Structure 1
Amino acid sequence: MKNARHLLLPLLLTALLASGAAVPSAAAARPAEGRAAAHEAAARPAADDLSARLSAIPGMRIVKENHAPAGYRGLELRYRQPVDHRHPDRGTFEQRLFLLHRATDRPMVLNTNGYGLDYQDPALRAEPTEILKSNQISVEQRYFGSSTPHPTDWTKLDIWQAATDHHRIVRALRTIYRAPWISTGGSKGGMATVYHRRFYPHDVAGSVAYSALNNIGNRDGTAEDRFLERVGSPACRHALTAVQRELLGARRTEMAGRIAHAAAAHGDTLHIVGSADRLLEFATLMLPERFWMAQGEEGCGGIPGRSATGAALYAWFDGLMSLWGYTDLYVSTVTASFYQLGTQLGMGERAAPQLAGMLRHPGIQRIRTLVPRHIPMRFQPAAMPDIDRWVRHHGSELMFVYGGNDPVRAQPFRTGPGSRDTHVYVAPHTGHHMSLDKLSPGDRERATATLRRWAGVDTPTA
């Protein structure tokens, strides 16, 4: 296959959203703070004062109090955004936000979620938030969850419109939070972090993007395939191939039947993907990527062999692939993500010579498989190369963090001749669930020092 084989996000939607791993927590190795707690408390406005200041921002309203970590106040907010930032008079929608307030003189972390906030604990602190002991504003991506315009004009879902949402939020909240801002996100959220910086490079003092795919494609379309041919041990790769052949060979009818039965048991259907057999083939083709993202070397010993029972094989397959995430009920809630893949972010086909003669559904990996047919899509091939050029020629104060075994690293962001104060870190033998804490001690120390420098937070003394 010569078509570019791109984004792995459909396989992340189910397993990674619910886990909260897209924006890592820094539960371990949090630096001590140089500021006294008493000073922070004195800088923190009274609850009614904060509420008044937030409510005074045009278009902002407080929905409710959220539970929050000790030392924080949690609020769910709505901020009114234009559906089309180029024509703000043509309708608006309310964008959902989670605020974790600590003190107005602390830095603010902009957490670009990339999806909906239904899957994020309101009290979740991104790793930079914990390191800096900062405030945090988490943003639900436009067209996800409750942040969906009605009626839905899909042509207004693009990376520039979303970046401009983030820009307006920064500008609005900076009237209260005047200390340096840092942006962060993981996976698709990390990509959104970079897109925001591309169009509004001066909104924040620095950005940390975890496991962010730089999806510019490649001439021969084999970057991901080459990566998967090398990652891990030959024995583990052989076991993955064997289980793929088992799923689409002798066990195919049984596995498709189990998929259909599970969907029916939950009162759901498979009309969008087409059938249980089509879903089985789609998920089997994408299995190696998900395995190395989510399990990696530690999971090699658990790959079922030919002697595994049908129940055990299906349980492993479903546990890895989260097959429920491709039923009509779920797919319809994340249509926005698949639409983005089909219009700007990109997704193509995986090469699968190891499954020659076993594939029944040509084109099953095309993103149209997961987007209702009534929604038109037109791919914009220049969108992602533009981002890549900006990072390499103009990007500054950027940090990219990758896992060594993560297939996303087949197309990573790289520094270039115009990059300034930009850093790329790789943690060996780790997958898609990344944090600075997984880096080598030296890299972790350097990355943390850089983050604190960007935020204007004094390096703690021993």
Structure 2
Amino acid sequence: MRKLTAAWSVLAITVLTLAGLTPAARAAPEDIKDALGRIPGLTVVSENPAPAGYRFFKLAYTQPADHRRPSAGTFQQRFTLLHKEFRSPTVVYTSGYNVGDFPNRSEPTQLVDGNQLSMEYRFFTPSRPERPDWGKQLTIWQAAADQHRAVEAFKRIYPGKWLATGASKGGMTATYFRRFFPNDVDATIPYVAPNDVINAHDRYNRFLANVGNDPACRSALKAIQRDVLTRRSEFAALAAADAAKFGLTFTTVGSADLSLEISVIDSYFAFWQYQKQADCATVPKAGAPAAEVYAWFERVESLNTYSDQNLRIYVPYYFQAAYQLGAPESYEGYLRDLLRYPGSNVSRTFVPKSVDIPRFDHLAMPDIDFWVKTQGSRLLFVYGENDPWGAEPFRLGFGTKDSYSYTVPGGNHGAQISQLPTAQATEATNTVRRWAGLPPVSPGMTTRSAPAGFPDFDADLTLLHRPRL
């Protein structure tokens, strides 16, 4: 029998060789670029350098401008793909804003050592229809449908487990995607995702009134805000000099003075969003030289934050906040005696008047919240203890299955699984790996070390240019 088997093997190899199809040739893996070429509507814009063992592509994918009315035209949505292996787990990632240009890996991608498909949120340029209908086309369902079509298309070449993730607005996006298309991915890992379910603004203000473990820090922050508004002309002159230097204008909000005032109001929120408790020591004393105070604001919340040039990037976010997402009430009561424009720190202020905003959709967020609590499954939320956006988080409910929520002690808007206490970090890591069909890691082993060549990855790619979220 052994001889017969060997003889047939030789014959088979001979035949296949004559046909030009040796077993080795037949088993040769398909090139990822060829595989991408088989996806209808997908264009490989370029292949860019990537760390060893990976390939990185910039892509454009044709999407309907309106998934409910395909005849309304299409637009090209930007994607990037970090490819490792066809059968590795694949993570679909979005920041909720633009797509990055570099081969960064989100934390879940690192935990499962997989592929990453990153996508630009619709209406963030250039991923915008030529004749946009904001009220009908820029909704949380339309964006979820973008993600649905993309995942279904890429499953043709990536048959393994799929995870969805994102941070901040990206975390919200990942959650909404799962609500509308619950079977598209195996699990969802949202980071620092707010849940403005009933616009309970007092929750944010109560949080901000008690955030951190040092009342003196909160008092110092409020004192420097009052100091700037009291010496408004000094700081307005410094901000105007920078605006002239960089060609900044203030048509959308109405004036540089209003921009300065809102920036001062927001600086308290921004400090806790992105700084750490230890940074309380950097807060200038009221009455300090204007240049010193101005430099501190440049690190925390620039007094020119709301220029047209800064806002232009984020108009789709502010539109959505005014239409469906909601936003916290401005934390400004203790500054009222110094404000010239009280009540102006609202999402509508940051959207050009040429863009019509429909009446606020009071059902959108309660629908998501209800789904998480009653039908959500395989969800893992991560929050930062000192992050104001965690004042109203997603909460698991009686119907939520195989889902978890963690809070990083002292964490901010960049909270990660790796920052959790060791036992929790290991537990969360192994949950993500279980969902990806992978074995657990040993205690203390959370995020894998990035291979040489990977830049640091920011959980929220908007850290340096902060809108309200």
TM range (shorter): 0.7 to 0.9
Stretches of structure 2 that go unaligned for 5 or more consecutive residues are 1-25, 444-469
Tell me the SS of whatever aligns to 1:93.
strand
Q: Give the Å deviation of 1:347.
A: 2.4
What is the aligned-residue identity percentage?
44
- The TM-score with structure 1 as length reference comes to 0.87
1: CA distance, partners of 2:154 / 2:312 = 32
2:259: which partner in 1? Answer: 279
> What's the CA shift for 1:415?
0.4
Which secondary structure state, in structure 1, belongs to the residue aligned with residue 163 of structure 2? Answer: strand
Aligned to 1:114: 96
Deviation (angstroms), 1:459: 2.2
User: Against the structure 1 CA distance between its residues 281 and 70, is the aligned structure 2 distance closer, same or farther, given a 3 Å change threshold?
Assistant: same
Matched, 1:419 2:419: no
CA–CA distance in structure 2, aligned partners of residues 44 and 322 of structure 1: 55
Deviations 1:399-436 (A, max 9, x none): 00001111111100100011001100001111111111
Distance 1:359 1:45 in 2: 65
Contact 1:100 1:136 (8 Å CA) reproduced: yes
The alignment partner of 2:71 has SS state of coil
Aligned-pair CA distance for 1:357: 1.0
Once the two structures are TM-superposed, the CA of residue 324 in structure 1 deviates from its matched residue by 4.5
8 A contact 2:426–2:441 mirrored in 1: no
2:259–2:307 CA contact under 8 A, matched in 1:
no
Conserved? CA contact 1:257–1:276, under 8 Å: no
The structure 1 residue matched to 2:424, chosen from 443, 459, 462, is 443
Aligned with residue 152 of structure 2, among 163, 171, 186? 171
1:453 equivalenced with 2:434 (yes/no): yes
Structure 1 residue 461: Cα displacement? 6.5
Residue 406 (structure 1) aligns with: 387
Match of 1:368? Answer: 348
Q: SS at the partner of 2:72? A: coil
1:225 to 159, 182, 205: 205
Matched, 1:312 2:295: no
How far apart are residue 77 of structure 1 and its match?
Answer: 0.8
CA distance in 2, matches of 1:449, 1:332: 41
The Cα shift of 1:284 comes to 1.4
Q: Which has the higher contact order (CA 8 A, sep 6+)?
A: 1
What SS does the aligned partner of 2:51 have? coil
Q: Which runs of 4+ in 1 moved over 4 A?
A: none
Root-mean-square deviation over aligned CA pairs = 1.7
**Do the aligned residues in 1 keep the contact of 2:336 with 2:342 (CA within 8 Å)?**
no
**Letter aligned with residue 405 of structure 1:** N
Aligned residue among 79, 82, 93 for 1:97: 79
Give the partner amino acid of 2:227: E
Residue 107 (structure 2) aligns with: 127
When structure 1 is superposed on structure 2, of 303-312 and 130-139 the one drifting more is 303-312
Question: Counterparts in 2 of 1:139-178, with a 5 A limit?
Answer: 139-155=119-135, 156-178=137-159
Question: C-alpha deviations, 1:360-406, integer Å up to 9, x for none?
Answer: 10331121211101111121111111111110011000000001111
Does structure 2 retain, via aligned residues, the 8 Å contact 1:348–1:367? no
- C-alpha distance in structure 1 between counterparts of 2:273 and 2:92, whole Å: 25
User: How far apart in 1 are the matches of 2:257 and 2:438?
Assistant: 55
Q: Distance in 1 between matches of 2:198 and 2:27?
A: 48
Residue 136 (structure 1) shift: 0.4
Give the alignment of 1:12-411 within 5 angstroms. 45=29, 49-117=31-99, 120-155=100-135, 156-218=137-199, 221-232=201-212, 233-249=214-230, 251-378=231-358, 379-411=360-392
TM-score by length of 2: 0.86
Question: In the comparison of the two structures, how many residue pairs are matched?
Answer: 415
For 1:312 and 1:407, how far apart are their aligned partners in 2? 26
Given that 2:227 and 2:287 are in contact with CA atoms closer than 8 Å, whether structure 1 keeps it comes out as no
Matched position secondary structure for 1:374: coil
Secondary structure in structure 2 of the residue aligned to 1:433: coil
Q: Separation in 2 of the partners of 1:447 and 1:461?
A: 12
